[in-house]
Chain A
Amino acid sequence: MNAPVTETLEADVLVIGGGTGGPMAAIRAKEANPHLRVVLLEKANVKRSGAISMGMDGLNNAVIPGYATPEQYVKEITIANDGIVQQKPLLAYANGSYDMIRYLDKLDVKFEKDGAGDYAVRKVHHMGTYVLPMPQGHHVKKVLYRQLRRLRIGVVNRYMATRLLTTRDGRIGGAIGVNTRTSEFLVIRAKTVVLTCGAAGRLGLPASGYLFGTYENAANCGDGHAMAYHAGAALANLECYQINPLIKDYNGPSCAYVTGPFGGYTANNKGNRFIECDYWSGQMMLEFWRELESGNGPVFLNMTHLAPETIGEIETILHSNERPSRGRFHARRGTDYRQRMVEMHISEIGFCAGHSASGVWVDERAQTTVPGLYAAGDMASVPHNYMLGAFVNGAIAGEEAARFCAEVDLPEADGAAVAAEQDRVLAPTRRGDGLTPFEVEYKTRRLVNDYLAPPKITAKMRIAQERFAEIRDDLGALVARDPHELMRALEVQSILDCADMAAAASLFRTESRWGFYHYRIDYPETDNDDWFCHTLLSRDADGRMRHRKHAVDPYVVPVDATEMTAYQKLRIVPAEAAE
């Protein structure tokens, strides 16, 4: 057999994933030290990749002086996550938030301003005020791409990273990628690697059954989580799933953040509000799910009471930014916001720190547990960081990586590891027949829905593990007839890794926590005595999944007991007894 075509590159900072946090990491690493060789590797094309491919219609978590303080923000996120947070990275984000907004503004990202040019922050509720609209936010990617070009950062599009390389002493050594159109390999030796591959968004199967009809950008299938895992990094709290409220079938955000300030709201079939919870959290999702399943279901987004002019304004924003095909979806079904409420549902499960809390474990410097490996954005463990968090933490990761470079030499590529990975990658191309990536992916994700989606049941999750093990054997029959199918075949393997991690992590934590996200029917109570801690999952020397508990660091922003309990009283306890 001929050796596969392989290019090699050397980099000081290699950033994998050119969506939101990735470009910012590359930009800041280069700005920190213009002499560094910074490479940005992207599976799609940086111009239009990732969650913000069509821009964004607002910041959900802007900490702007005069509207909210970093301490207030840290406190609210701590409460929303049932206390299980590392406050230091949260505070690092909150402290960097306003500077990042001004930096983005300088680069020409458009935020809403009032008549005198000040930021027009919108109040959403009586606690902190964090919403800064971006009615013209469709430009975000253009702005990032322009800055990458100006700084002459090496952008490599259409290469999918498949595995990280590590050195014998456990430090990061680079990565291997494969071209999604030619199947050529790229081996990048790098002193540092920043992972910004986004959420694991192709884990559950959307209710529509369409594999790519996911809430997340469907290119984000958990490659980053899988690569970090195989490189030995720890992943945190994976049992704390991401589940979002969304437009039924369309599976895109219903955008309470946009419509809320205009007066739109989430209602039950009686047209009444029903959400008690003040925070975007698993608790809110539990209330949402209960209402869906109750006689008051389904759930709707109601704008029928708004003035036509207001709705016109909402439509302009919603139909030009973020998920602009929304308008088309509604039109086909004859849903006019003026006359009909929009039916909503909840999304399939995924891992996403952007909206929830789980991911590759990082500290306040975006460092993972592997020296030289950093992570940021939806795939890293800083909770609720959304778009601005991906930018701020991406910047931190880029700057920290730039600093770390100065201390280390460029590692040699491990030839044996490269050869083994090339074998794994190319295996599906060496078969004439077998199982298609489509079939294996569909089955895996169907099983995720059947056995892993909450409410979680121990016996079902064990069955899931057995079935995933069978699918793991089936991977030996995967067949790919062209480079595109090969990309899908590799993605399936990441999806299966994430499915296994979701099952194992959910079984490990024998309590219920985070509302619907980790609602275990057979352990319905929250058990603070045993489980007021993070859970870390990693791969041991024998290649098996290992778990450990990790204590919650002492808070840097104290949350007094009454604030926590005031919130507890408002909540529905995740137990059958609640109703």
Chain B
Amino acid sequence: MTVFDTDTDDLADLAARARSEDAGVRRVAMLALAETPEPDAAALLIAGLADPAAEVRAAAAQALEEHAGADVVRALAAALDDPEPRVREAAAAALADRHEADAAPLLIARAAAGTAFARAAAFRALRELAAPDAGGVALEALADACPDVRREAVAVLGWLRDESAQPGLMRTAIDPEPEVRRATMTALVSVRSGAPGAAALVAGLRDPDWRVREEAAATLARSRLPEGETALIRTMEDPVWQVRLKAAGALGRLRALAALPALAIALASEISNLRKESAAALGEIADPAALPALRTAAADPDPEVRKTALWAIGRCRG
């Protein structure tokens, strides 16, 4: 008798249950094998991926999330082609959450060919590995017919921070799918001033979809590209306040003196979130010319706006 729950269940017993006639028993055995750290358990689960019953295969795929190793990755990558959607999805999820660098070559091969589902899942799994060798397939996939594949490939390139990928990302910045364009704006965060991708990011501020514009402004706030300044000031007239809010944040981080009039106007917006962000931006810029507008904001009915304006006034006074 043991009181320890982490002690392995009797593996022989589990193996017998994994081979039971009854699919229900096999399915429950797969669940238990998730918690058995031995390599033999992984082998039983890999065999389970070939079970005739879909629910057993799905349980096996899910359980393999708890196991590591090249065999496991290979088996899960193969399961991305399972005829049953829930098995494929479980396999994709189990592949996505691992940091096994030596899995990269296999995943790269998987990303290069096959169904759109499998390729998108392979790119998703590759993203966090940031394997330089993945750049080539990802670049090619930017022209893929499936938007999911394009989106995941864009994300892989973002994590690689590779400047040579920027021409490709300039194309996905005008992709027909808003989701792909938005992912492109996110991926352009490491672009440096003067690099080709910078123009694509700035152009994103004029995208027809507001969520793409919002993401472009948010990314510009992170990357602080000076070439964004003029376009960001123009964005302070965007019809969507959420976009104006992110633009205000970016202008603050850019310390954009030329933005003072636009930010002062935003201080009188009816949206209190935007008033607060504009006050914060004026505080970042810290120029005495903003004082009159900020003094008015210091009497704002919203306490968050008031407090931010007071802080900003302190900074503008130097």
Q: A residues near B, CB below 8 A?
A: 7, 9, 45-46, 106, 108, 110, 114-118, 125-126, 139, 142, 145-146, 148-150, 152-157, 159, 186, 263, 265, 272-276, 278, 305, 307, 309-310, 570
Partner of B211, one of A153, A186, A275, A309: A309
Alpha-carbon distance A145/B6, docked complex (angstroms): 9
Q: A126-B311, A149-B6 are in contact. Are A305 and B271 (CB under 8 A)?
A: yes
User: Which B residues are CB-close (under 8 A) to A108?
Assistant: 97-99
User: Which A residues are CB-close (under 8 A) to B98?
Assistant: 108
User: Which B residues are CB-close (under 8 A) to A114?
Assistant: 186, 189, 219, 222
User: Which A residues are CB-close (under 8 A) to B245?
Assistant: 263
Chain B residues numbered 277-318 whose CB sits less than 8 Å from any CB in chain A? 280, 283, 301-304, 307-308, 311
Query: B188 touching A115 by the CB < 8 A rule?
Result: yes
Query: A116 touching B190 by the CB < 8 A rule?
Result: yes
Q: B184-199 CB contact bits vs A (8 Å, 1 = yes)?
A: 0111111000000000
Q: A263-B273, A310-B242 are in contact. Are A115 and B5 (CB under 8 A)?
A: no
Query: A149 touching B3 by the CB < 8 A rule?
Result: no
Instruction: Known A-B contacts: A115-B185, A154-B6, A276-B303. Give 17 more (CB < 8 A).
Output: A7-B1, A114-B186, A115-B186, A115-B189, A116-B161, A116-B189, A117-B128, A126-B283, A149-B35, A149-B37, A152-B37, A153-B6, A263-B242, A265-B272, A265-B273, A273-B272, A273-B304
Alpha-carbon distance A63/B97, docked complex (angstroms): 25
Q: Can you sample 28 A-B contacts with CB below 8 Å? A: A9-B3, A45-B5, A46-B5, A108-B98, A115-B155, A115-B185, A115-B219, A116-B159, A117-B128, A118-B189, A125-B304, A126-B311, A145-B35, A150-B37, A152-B6, A154-B4, A155-B4, A155-B6, A263-B273, A265-B273, A273-B303, A274-B303, A275-B303, A276-B307, A305-B273, A307-B240, A307-B242, A309-B211
Alpha-carbon distance A348/B231, docked complex (angstroms): 51
B158 at the interface (CB under 8 A from A): yes
The 6 closest A-B pairs by CB, nearest first: A115-B186, A115-B158, A116-B190, A115-B189, A115-B187, A155-B6
Alpha-carbon distance A150/B68, docked complex (angstroms): 11
Alpha-carbon distance A278/B308, docked complex (angstroms): 11
B81 at the interface (CB under 8 A from A): no
Query: A159 touching B3 by the CB < 8 A rule?
Result: yes
B130 at the interface (CB under 8 A from A): yes
B51 at the interface (CB under 8 A from A): no
User: Which A residues are CB-close (under 8 A) to B4?
Assistant: 154-156
Query: B189 touching A273 by the CB < 8 A rule?
Result: no
> What is the distance, in angstroms, from A55's C-beta to the closest C-beta of chain B?
13
- A179's nearest neighbour on chain B, judged by CB, is B3
Query: A265 touching B5 by the CB < 8 A rule?
Result: no
B66 at the interface (CB under 8 A from A): yes
Partner of A117, one of B35, B130, B185, B302: B130
User: Which B residues are CB-close (under 8 A) to A159?
Assistant: 3
User: Which B residues are CB-close (under 8 A) to A154?
Assistant: 4, 6-7
> What is the distance, in angstroms, from A292's C-beta to the closest C-beta of chain B?
16
User: Which B residues are CB-close (under 8 A) to A273?
Assistant: 272, 302-304
User: Which A residues are CB-close (under 8 A) to B271?
Assistant: 305
Q: A115-B155, A155-B5 are in contact. Are A126 and B308 (CB under 8 A)?
A: yes
Q: Which of B7, B37, B273, B283 has the most CB of A within 10 A?
A: B273
> What is the distance, in angstroms, from B250's C-beta to the closest C-beta of chain A?
12
Q: B residues near A, CB below 8 A?
A: 1, 3-7, 35, 37, 66, 97-99, 128, 130, 155, 158-159, 161, 183, 185-190, 210-211, 219, 222, 240, 242, 245, 271-273, 280, 283, 301-304, 307-308, 311
Query: A278 touching B307 by the CB < 8 A rule?
Result: yes
> What is the distance, in angstroms, from A140's C-beta to the closest C-beta of chain B?
12
User: Which B residues are CB-close (under 8 A) to A570?
Assistant: 307
User: Which B residues are CB-close (under 8 A) to A153?
Assistant: 6
> What is the distance, in angstroms, from B1's C-beta to the closest C-beta of chain A?
8
User: Which A residues are CB-close (under 8 A) to B5?
Assistant: 45-46, 155-157
> What is the distance, in angstroms, from A137's C-beta to the closest C-beta of chain B?
12
Query: B189 touching A139 by the CB < 8 A rule?
Result: no
Query: A272 touching B186 by the CB < 8 A rule?
Result: no
Q: Which of A108, A115, A153, A263 has the most CB of B within 10 A?
A: A115
> What is the distance, in angstroms, from A408's C-beta to the closest C-beta of chain B?
24
Alpha-carbon distance A7/B188, docked complex (angstroms): 60
Alpha-carbon distance A9/B3, docked complex (angstroms): 9
> What is the distance, in angstroms, from A359's C-beta to the closest C-beta of chain B?
28
> What is the distance, in angstroms, from B151's C-beta to the closest C-beta of chain A?
12
User: Which B residues are CB-close (under 8 A) to A115?
Assistant: 155, 158-159, 183, 185-190, 219
Alpha-carbon distance A546/B188, docked complex (angstroms): 62
> What is the distance, in angstroms, from A284's C-beta to the closest C-beta of chain B?
12
User: Which A residues are CB-close (under 8 A) to B219?
Assistant: 114-115
> What is the distance, in angstroms, from A286's C-beta to the closest C-beta of chain B?
14
> What is the distance, in angstroms, from A148's C-beta to the closest C-beta of chain B?
6
User: Which A residues are CB-close (under 8 A) to B186?
Assistant: 114-115
Alpha-carbon distance A186/B159, docked complex (angstroms): 50
> What is the distance, in angstroms, from B288's C-beta to the closest C-beta of chain A?
19
User: Which B residues are CB-close (under 8 A) to A9?
Assistant: 3
Alpha-carbon distance A153/B37, docked complex (angstroms): 12
Alpha-carbon distance A307/B302, docked complex (angstroms): 21
> What is the distance, in angstroms, from B264's C-beta to the closest C-beta of chain A?
18
> What is the distance, in angstroms, from A348's C-beta to the closest C-beta of chain B?
27
Alpha-carbon distance A310/B4, docked complex (angstroms): 46
Alpha-carbon distance A309/B128, docked complex (angstroms): 26
Query: B37 touching A272 by the CB < 8 A rule?
Result: no
User: Which A residues are CB-close (under 8 A) to B185?
Assistant: 115
- B3's nearest neighbour on chain A, judged by CB, is A156
- A42's nearest neighbour on chain B, judged by CB, is B5
Query: B66 touching A265 by the CB < 8 A rule?
Result: no
Query: B280 touching A126 by the CB < 8 A rule?
Result: yes
User: Which B residues are CB-close (under 8 A) to A125?
Assistant: 304, 308
Query: A146 touching B242 by the CB < 8 A rule?
Result: no
> What is the distance, in angstroms, from B121's C-beta to the closest C-beta of chain A?
16
> What is the distance, in angstroms, from B275's C-beta to the closest C-beta of chain A?
11
Alpha-carbon distance A453/B304, docked complex (angstroms): 29
> What is the distance, in angstroms, from A174's C-beta to the closest C-beta of chain B?
14
Alpha-carbon distance A310/B98, docked complex (angstroms): 29
Alpha-carbon distance A148/B1, docked complex (angstroms): 21
User: Which B residues are CB-close (under 8 A) to A139?
Assistant: 97
User: Which A residues are CB-close (under 8 A) to B161?
Assistant: 116
> What is the distance, in angstroms, from B157's C-beta to the closest C-beta of chain A?
9
> What is the distance, in angstroms, from B281's C-beta to the closest C-beta of chain A?
11
Query: B308 touching A116 by the CB < 8 A rule?
Result: no
Alpha-carbon distance A110/B96, docked complex (angstroms): 11
User: Which A residues are CB-close (under 8 A) to B210?
Assistant: 307
Alpha-carbon distance A13/B259, docked complex (angstroms): 60
User: Which B residues are CB-close (under 8 A) to A146?
Assistant: 66
User: Which B residues are CB-close (under 8 A) to A45?
Assistant: 5
> What is the distance, in angstroms, from A301's C-beta to the closest C-beta of chain B?
14
- A116's nearest neighbour on chain B, judged by CB, is B190
> What is the distance, in angstroms, from B215's C-beta to the closest C-beta of chain A?
9
User: Which A residues are CB-close (under 8 A) to B304?
Assistant: 125, 265, 273
> What is the distance, in angstroms, from A149's C-beta to the closest C-beta of chain B?
5
Alpha-carbon distance A309/B179, docked complex (angstroms): 12
Alpha-carbon distance A106/B190, docked complex (angstroms): 22
Alpha-carbon distance A152/B283, docked complex (angstroms): 53
Alpha-carbon distance A152/B6, docked complex (angstroms): 7
Query: B302 touching A272 by the CB < 8 A rule?
Result: yes
- B245's nearest neighbour on chain A, judged by CB, is A263
User: Which A residues are CB-close (under 8 A) to B222?
Assistant: 114
User: Which A residues are CB-close (under 8 A) to B272?
Assistant: 265, 273
Query: B3 touching A7 by the CB < 8 A rule?
Result: yes
User: Which B residues are CB-close (under 8 A) to A263?
Assistant: 242, 245, 273
Alpha-carbon distance A276/B308, docked complex (angstroms): 11
User: Which A residues are CB-close (under 8 A) to B302?
Assistant: 272-273
Alpha-carbon distance A276/B304, docked complex (angstroms): 7
- A277's nearest neighbour on chain B, judged by CB, is B303
Alpha-carbon distance A117/B280, docked complex (angstroms): 27
Query: B99 touching A106 by the CB < 8 A rule?
Result: yes
Alpha-carbon distance A273/B306, docked complex (angstroms): 11
